[in-house]
């Protein structure tokens, strides 16, 4: 084992009896190098245990081989504890898993970045000079200025979930409206007469789309008006919303809940209220997260292929990193309904 200093290109060159340039060419597999020299160099590399220094390489190539996963919450102050709660959400893990599935084969690193309202400028600065080659952005709140800043700075970036305001930036998203419509159709098909909805926060695009899509579809089925209570995507808020919905509309016999976690809460409240699911009240969730399977009765829900979407985002980003002038593009995934027991 080397004492302290790690072997450098120089060392390998000396051992192999060639110049640094030649070693560099061999290591990077470039150009025509005499096969004999090629061989010679490789043995020298093995022998010295040489590993190229990433920093030095990046300094000249202007490439880091890293992309950032930016969790942006512009409404949160930088040292708020809020965001750590976000990490516990299955959402986060699914995204990471999806990203990794394409990043790892491409030998690209993933660096985690959290940024609150105050960090936007610094983040863009850091990104601009090679903190990372690009960024996948998870924009929590509505009207996040970050996508715009990123676009202005010409930093390769891909959003997961469409931006609230139109911005020239690539993104992947789910056809949330279609998904919500699927839920509405199911409820209607079951013959529900009095349909309600538990929505997410009103200012999140994905949440808005689910509301719009659900309303439009129920209207098509003859339900002019759908009572709605809103939560913030946590189980607890789902319980609260269900309680209020039930209080206002006792004959409710079908409800669409904008995510599975809230649906879980709704299920508990319904049970406590003595309603059978799905006999008395049919429930449809959204996301098809692991919670949906864990629920009793198992949740009928709209499948949200988050892993695939994250993987696609990673692919788009990689393309964009390769060619910064590539066309801005978006990929919209079609949700499907997963029928289980709750509706």
Partner DNA sequence: GTACGCTTGGAGAGCGCTTTCCAGATTGCG
Partner DNA sequence: CGCAATCTGGAAAGCGCTCTCCAAGCGTAC
Of 32, 84, 107, 251, the one binding DNA by CB under 7 A: 32
Counting contacts by CB under 8 A, is residue 77 touching a copy of itself? no
Let me know: does 284 contact 301? Beta carbons within 8 Å: yes
Counting contacts by CB under 7 A, is residue 20 touching DNA? yes
Q: How many CB atoms lie within 10 A of CB 251?
A: 9
Counting contacts by CB under 7 A, is residue 43 touching DNA? no
Among DNA, a copy of itself, none, partner that 90 touches (CB below 5 to 8 angstroms by kind):
a copy of itself
Q: How many CB atoms lie within 10 A of CB 158?
A: 28
Instruction: Please give the full DSSP string across 54-103, using - where no structure is assigned.
Output: HHHHHHHH---SEEEEEEEETTS-TT-SHHHHHHHSHHHHHHHHHHHHHH
Whole-number Å distance between alpha carbons of 322 and 303: 32
Structure-block tokens of residue 125: 């600065």
Of 4, 43, 44, 56, the one binding DNA by CB under 7 A: 56
Counting contacts by CB under 7 A, is residue 29 touching DNA? no
Structure-block tokens of residue 278: 């799905």
∠121-64-93 over CA atoms, to 5°?
A: 75
What is the size of the binding site for DNA (CB under 7 A)? 28
Minimal distance, residue 316 CB to a copy of itself, in Å: 19
Among a copy of itself, DNA, none, partner that 268 touches (CB below 5 to 8 angstroms by kind):
a copy of itself
Among DNA, a copy of itself, none, partner that 294 touches (CB below 5 to 8 angstroms by kind):
a copy of itself
Q: Which DSSP state fits 118?
A: G
Exposure b/e, 165-200, CB count within 10 A at least 16 = b: eebebbbbbbebbbbbbbbbbbbbeeebeebbbbbb
What is the size of the binding site for a copy of itself (CB under 8 A)? 56
Let me know: does 62 contact 129? Beta carbons within 8 Å: no
Whole-number Å distance between alpha carbons of 161 and 301: 19
Minimal distance, residue 17 CB to DNA, in Å: 7
Q: Which stretch binds a copy of itself (CB under 8 A): 56-64, 164-172, 225-233, 323-331?
A: 56-64
| Residues in touch with DNA (CB under 7 A) | 5-6, 8-10, 18-22, 24-25, 27-28, 30-34, 37, 50, 52-53, 56-57, 59-61
Residue numbers at the binding site for a copy of itself (CB under 8 A): 1, 6, 49, 51-56, 58-59, 64, 66, 79, 81, 83-90, 92-94, 96-98, 100-101, 104-105, 109-114, 125-126, 128-131, 152, 235, 264, 268, 271, 290-291, 293-294, 296, 307
């Amino acid at each position: 084992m080397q004492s302290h200093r790690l072997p450098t290109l120089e060392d390998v060159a000396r051992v192999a009896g060639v110049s640094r340039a030649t070693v560099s060419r061999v290591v990077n597999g470039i150009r025509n190098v005499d096969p004999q020299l090629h061989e010679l160099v490789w043995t020298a590399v093995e022998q010295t245990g040489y590993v190229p220094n990433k920093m030095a390489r990046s300094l000249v190539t202007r490439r880091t081989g890293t992309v950032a996963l930016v969790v942006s919450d512009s409404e949160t102050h930088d040292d708020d504890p809020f965001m750590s709660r976000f990490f516990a959400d299955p959402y986060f893990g699914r995204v990471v898993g999806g990203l990794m599935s394409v990043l790892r084969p491409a030998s690209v690193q993933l660096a985690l970045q959290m940024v609150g309202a105050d960090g936007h400028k610094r983040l863009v600065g850091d990104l601009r000079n090679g903190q990372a080659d690009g960024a996948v952005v998870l924009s929590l709140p509505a009207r996040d200025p970050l996508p715009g800043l990123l676009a202005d700075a010409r930093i390769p970036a891909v959003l997961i979930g469409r931006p609230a305001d139109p911005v020239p930036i690539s993104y992947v998203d789910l056809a949330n409206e279609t998904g919500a419509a699927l839920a509405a159709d199911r409820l209607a098909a079951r013959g529900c007469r009095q349909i309600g909805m538990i929505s997410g926060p009103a200012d999140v695009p994905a949440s808005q789309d689910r509301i719009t899509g659900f309303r439009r579809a129920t209207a098509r089925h003859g339900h002019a008006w759908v009572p709605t209570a809103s939560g913030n995507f946590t189980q607890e808020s789902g319980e609260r919303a269900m309680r209020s919905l039930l209080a206002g509309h006792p004959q409710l016999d079908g409800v669409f809940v904008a995510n599975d976690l809230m649906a879980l809460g709704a299920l508990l409240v319904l049970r406590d209220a003595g309603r059978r699911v799905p006999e008395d009240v049919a429930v449809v969730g959204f996301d098809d997260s692991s919670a949906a399977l864990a629920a009793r009765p198992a949740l009928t829900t709209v499948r949200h292929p988050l892993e695939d979407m994250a993987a696609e985002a990673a692919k788009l980003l990689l393309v964009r990193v390769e060619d910064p002038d590539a066309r801005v593009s978006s990929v919209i995934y079609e949700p499907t309904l997963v029928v289980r027991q709750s509706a």
